[in-house]
């Protein structure tokens, strides 16, 4: 089994929060994930994209793990937002099965399920467009309020099969994009969300895995949100995809490909909208402190999508290169350069070149 130095350190830190369900010890853990990001464009200015900015973030994560009961809370504070990201309580239903209730991360998004909001845990600064949060231009749910089932089974050959499935409330479409259900929200205009992920690991304690994921979401539209002649009522969205996170000695591949089938419901007629989105990120760990990486984001038919055209800054293509330096055991500096294209609309796409620099860490 191969597990890089950084991954091993992070695995040890979050074990109390997301470790194997068979662990029966009572544990409490408070983790702090601070980060500071710098962004600059080194091409011609484009609408809807700031030429440069600096953003500081702090992700606070608390977890309790007992014999039968678990609790997890996560709060994100940054220069431009503050939000309760997760608040969930779990009950053991078997040696390797938990049922959670509350607000949690959608199991149908692989990157989100792996890294959550802790920037230190992911190698790159940016997330693939397919995996973006709702409030950062994401086009399908990252947060769900409802019930979540998580189960993992170790097979006789030491491989493992994992399953996660959820039912809850989908986001609504507002002026600024998708808005997830807030845990203390009263009256809800949110529709139904179903999400799942099934994975296979050749070794129970290995990080290498692959699997399938998907979901169905009823995305209701806030009246007056979309400036179209015929008022858009709601959007039915079905997804089905595959993912992998695979290690070969010093190389690692993270990839996902998801097919979207949307139906946009108008009073007079419905519009069907289908496309494919994906990404592949290749990482090379040169030594215990330096990792170089690159990623390609893209898809098929995304430029002509009626649904994606509702998201002004959705990234339709990105070609990115980067490097990460782990300056200390739990501190890192990362830089990225990318050629980015956004805007899936009739007015055409826009292209710019970007540079990012980030410090991230985890305490204690």
DSSP state of 317: E
Q: Give the integer Cα–Cα distance in Å for 111 and 149.
A: 18
Per CATH, the homologous superfamily of domain 5-361 is: Porin (2.40.160.10)
Q: Give the integer Cα–Cα distance in Å for 166 and 145.
A: 9
**pLDDT score of 4 more than 90:** no
Q: Give the integer Cα–Cα distance in Å for 361 and 35.
A: 7
Do 130 and 183 contact (CB within 8 A), yes or no?
no
pLDDT on residue 1: 37
pLDDT tens digits, one per residue of 120-155: 999 999 999 999 999 888 999 999 999 999 999 999
Where does the pLDDT of residue 37 fall: very low under 50, low under 70, confident under 90, or very high at 90 and above? Answer: very high
Do 263 and 272 contact (CB within 8 A), yes or no?
yes
Q: Give the integer Cα–Cα distance in Å for 65 and 224.
A: 45
User: Please, which residues bridge with residue 256 across strands?
Assistant: 243, 279
Pairwise pLDDT comparison (316 vs 113), residue with the higher score: 316
Nearest to 217 by CA among 266, 302, 146, 276: 146
Indicate the pTM of the whole model: 0.91
Alpha helices by DSSP H, listed for the chain, are 5-18, 110-115
Query: What average pLDDT is seen over the chain?
Result: 88
User: Among the listed ranges 52-56, 119-123, 181-185, 234-238, which one has the minimum average pLDDT value?
Assistant: 181-185
**pLDDT score of 5 more than 50:** no
């Amino acid at each position: 089994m191969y597990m890089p130095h950084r991954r091993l350190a992070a695995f040890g830190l979050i074990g109390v929060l997301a470790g194997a369900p068979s662990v029966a010890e009572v544990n409490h853990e408070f983790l702090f994930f601070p980060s500071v990001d710098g962004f600059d464009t080194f091409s011609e200015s484009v609408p809807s994209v700031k030429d440069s900015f600096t953003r500081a973030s702090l992700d606070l994560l608390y977890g309790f793990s007992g014999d039968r009961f678990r609790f997890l809370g996560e709060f994100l504070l940054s220069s431009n937002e503050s939000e309760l990201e997760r608040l969930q309580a779990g009950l053991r239903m078997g040696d390797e099965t938990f049922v959670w209730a509350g607000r949690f991360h959608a199991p149908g998004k692989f990157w989100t399920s792996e890294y959550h909001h802790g920037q230190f845990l992911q190698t790159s600064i940016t997330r693939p467009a397919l995996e973006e949060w709702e409030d950062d231009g994401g086009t399908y749910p990252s947060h769900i309020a409802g019930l979540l089932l998580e189960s993992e089974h170790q097979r006789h050959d030491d491989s493992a099969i994992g399953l996660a499935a959820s039912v809850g409330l989908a986001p609504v479409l507002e002026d600024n994009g998708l808005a997830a259900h807030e845990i203390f929200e009263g009256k809800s205009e949110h529709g139904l969300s179903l999400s799942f992920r099934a994975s296979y690991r050749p070794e129970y304690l290995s990080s290498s895995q692959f699997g399938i994921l998907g979901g169905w979401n009823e995305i209701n539209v806030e009246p007056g949100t979309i400036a179209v002649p015929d008022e858009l009522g709601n959007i039915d969205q079905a997804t089905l995809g595959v993912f992998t996170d695979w290690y070969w000695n010093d190389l690692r591949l993270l990839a996902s490909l998801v097919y979207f089938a949307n139906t946009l419901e108008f009073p007079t007629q419905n519009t069907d909208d289908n496309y494919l989105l994906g990404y592949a990120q290749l990482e090379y760990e040169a030594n215990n402190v330096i990792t170089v990486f690159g990623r390609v984001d893209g898809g098929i038919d995304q430029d002509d999508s009626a649904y994606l055209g509702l998201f002004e800054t959705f990234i339709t293509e990105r070609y990115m290169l980067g490097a990460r330096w782990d300056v200390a055991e739990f501190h890192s500096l990362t830089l990225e350069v990318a050629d980015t294209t956004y805007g899936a609309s009739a007015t055409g796409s826009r292209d710019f070149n970007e540079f990012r620099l980030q410090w991230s860490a985890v305490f204690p």
